[in-house]
Copies of this chain bind each other. A is one copy, B any other.
């Protein structure tokens, strides 16, 4: 997710590029970590661009609708977002410091797809997506 190309893309679709929107796009293009609305709010404050929480929630919803962000199902109770431009991947979540790291799942993906096919047959489900998270402790917190 390149901030420059994203803003150009949005502009061609007729959307405005406000300072808040630009900053939020910049935040997500400079990290692969899943962020919450609160994370974004605090980051904007730190950067000297304080914004109302309503604006943050609406902007995340907007970027989601534009398929520039995607929701991540992680820790219960709080919605996390990450750039949608990343390759499909999974997460590694430290149960102590709560840091989240992306994992490239190439080798396992095939196995998941195989299971998904079998499940579809057995249960009558059509599977369109999946999420896989690993919980444990990072090098620091062991």
Q: Which residues on A are within 8 Å of B, measured CB to CB?
A: 71, 73-79, 92, 94-95, 101, 103, 105, 107-108, 111-112, 114-116, 118-120, 123-139, 142
Between A111, A120, A128, A133, the greatest number of chain B beta carbons within 10 A of the residue's beta carbon is seen for A111
Q: Which residues of B contact A75 (CB under 8 A)?
A: 73
Closest 10 CB pairs of A and B: A124-B139, A111-B111, A127-B136, A129-B135, A108-B115, A132-B132, A128-B136, A76-B79, A130-B134, A126-B136
A120 to B127, CA, bound (A): 29
The residue on B at minimum CB distance from A79 is B76
Minimum distance in angstroms from A96 CB to a CB of chain B:
11
A79 to B108, CA, bound (A): 27
The residue on B at minimum CB distance from A122 is B103
A137 to B119, CA, bound (A): 12
A125 to B134, CA, bound (A): 10
Task: Please state if A125 and B111 are interface contacts (CB–CB under 8 Å).
Answer: no
Minimum distance in angstroms from A140 CB to a CB of chain B:
8
A142 to B119, CA, bound (A): 15
